Amino acid sequence: MWWLNQNEEQIIGPFYDFIFKNEDKTMLFELNDGAIVKVKFDTEGESDNNLELDDEGYEEFREAYFKIIEIVKDDSNSYTKGQLIAINYHCVPNSYKIVS
């Protein structure tokens, strides 16, 4: 994908392929913190790591945003129904699949 840098392509490229082929479907994500949520794709765009442009370590990357439509498991009570979550190459879900 031309809009991903090389690092992103290797880590999140397959996830983006999955998203864009199924963007109108409901998906089930197992997140890195163990939470399991049903989501719908919302939008996608650029983000950064909250450093200043000239700071060492500054980076830009692509993010996909999903709206939580159901919380299946959330032991830490970190998520709410209707919340938008951002997925980028730093936090690709452990697993993801179509549920409807």
Q: pLDDT digits over 27-61, tens only? A: 999 999 999 999 999 998 776 655 566 767 666 76
Percent of the chain exceeding pLDDT 70 equals 82
Q: What is the pLDDT of residue 55?
A: 63
Any domain includes 46: yes
Closest CA relative to residue 4, chosen from 86, 55, 67, 59? 59
Any domain includes 62: yes
The 10 Å Cβ neighbour count of residue 55 is: 9
User: Count of residues for the chain?
Assistant: 100
Order of strands across the sheet with 95-98?
84-87, 60-73, 36-48, 26-30, 95-98
Any domain includes 51: yes
Rounded to two decimals, the pTM is: 0.83
Any domain includes 77: yes
Any domain includes 84: yes
Kindly report the CATH number assigned to the domain that includes residue 14. 2.30.30
β-pair partners for 48: 60
In this structure, are strands 60-73 and 26-30 parallel, antiparallel, or unpaired? Answer: unpaired
Indicate the SS3 state at residue 74.
Answer: coil
Any domain includes 50: yes
Any domain includes 1: no
Print the domain residue range for 67.
6-98
Any domain includes 16: yes
Closest CA relative to residue 86, chosen from 34, 35, 31? 31
Domain count, the chain: 1
Phi and psi of 11, rounded to 5°?
-90, -45
Helix (H) or strand (E) holding 38: strand 36-48
